[in-house]
Amino acid sequence: MVGLFKPMPKNFADRLLGQIRKLKNPSCVGLDPRFELLPDFLKGSNKPQALFNFNKKIIDATFDLIPVYKIQVAFYEVYGSKGFRALERTISYLKKKKKIIIVDAKRNDIGSTAQAYCQAYLSKKGLDVDALTVNPYLGWDSLEPFIEVAKRQGKGLFVLTKTSNPSSADFQDLKMKNGKRLYEVVGGKINEWNRGTEGKSGYGIVGAVVGATYPQEIKKLRKIMPRSIFLLPGYGAQGGSAKDVVFAFDKEGKGAIINSSRGIIFSYRNNPYKKRFPSKKFYLAARQAVIDMREDIVGKLNKRD
By the 10 Å C-beta count (0-12 exposed, 13-18 middle, 19+ buried), 172 is classed as buried
Q: In this predicted structure, what is the pLDDT of residue 303?
A: 85
Looking at per-residue confidence, does 295 or 243 come out higher?
295
Nearest to 58 by CA among 225, 205, 218, 267: 267
In a domain, 5, yes or no: no
Going from the C-alpha of 55 to that of each of 28, 75, 126, 235, 244, the distances in angstroms are: 14, 12, 21, 20, 29
The answer to whether residue 4 sits within a structural domain is no
Split at pLDDT 50, 70, 90, the class of 209 is: very high
- Please report whether residue 305 resides in a domain: no
Q: What is the pLDDT of residues 8-41, one digit of tens each?
A: 679 999 999 999 999 999 999 999 999 999 999 9
The pLDDT assigned to 1 comes to: 43
Helix (H, G, I), strand (E, B) or coil at 242: helix
Residue 86: which H helix or E strand, with range?
helix 80-96
Does residue 239 register a pLDDT over 80?
no
Question: Do the domain assignments include residue 65?
Answer: yes
Q: Annotated active-site positions, please?
A: 106
Of the spans 7-11, 190-194, 238-242, which averages the highest pLDDT? 190-194
Please write the tens of the pLDDT for every residue from 74-110: 999 999 999 999 999 999 999 999 999 999 999 999 9
Residues 6+ apart with CB under 8 A from 238: 164, 211, 212, 213
The reported pLDDT for the residue numbered 244 is 87
Please give the Cα distance from 27 to 235 (Å, whole number): 10
Q: For 1-5, 180-184, 187-191, 263-267, which range has the lowest pLDDT when averaged over its residues? A: 1-5
Helix or strand holding residue 287 (H, E): helix 282-302
Q: What is the mean predicted confidence (pLDDT) over 251-259?
A: 96
In a domain, 1, yes or no: no
Residue 4 pLDDT: 55
Residue 219 DSSP SS3: helix
Which alpha helices (H) appear in 24-77, and where do they start and end? 47-62, 74-77
pLDDT of 269 over the 90 cut: yes
- Tell me how long the chain is: 305
Is the per-residue pLDDT at 224 higher than 70?
A: yes
Q: Which domain holds residue 216?
A: 10-300
Residue 3 forms part of a structural domain: no
Q: What's the DSSP call for residue 134?
A: E
> CATH number, domain at 178?
3.20.20.70
Q: Is residue 192 part of a domain?
A: yes
Q: How many domains does the chain have?
A: 1
Provide CB contacts within 8 A for 7, sequence distance 6+.
none
Q: Looking at the predicted structure, is the pLDDT value of residue 51 above 80?
A: yes
Please say whether the beta carbons of 69 and 94 come within 8 A. yes
pLDDT at residue 237 in the model = 65
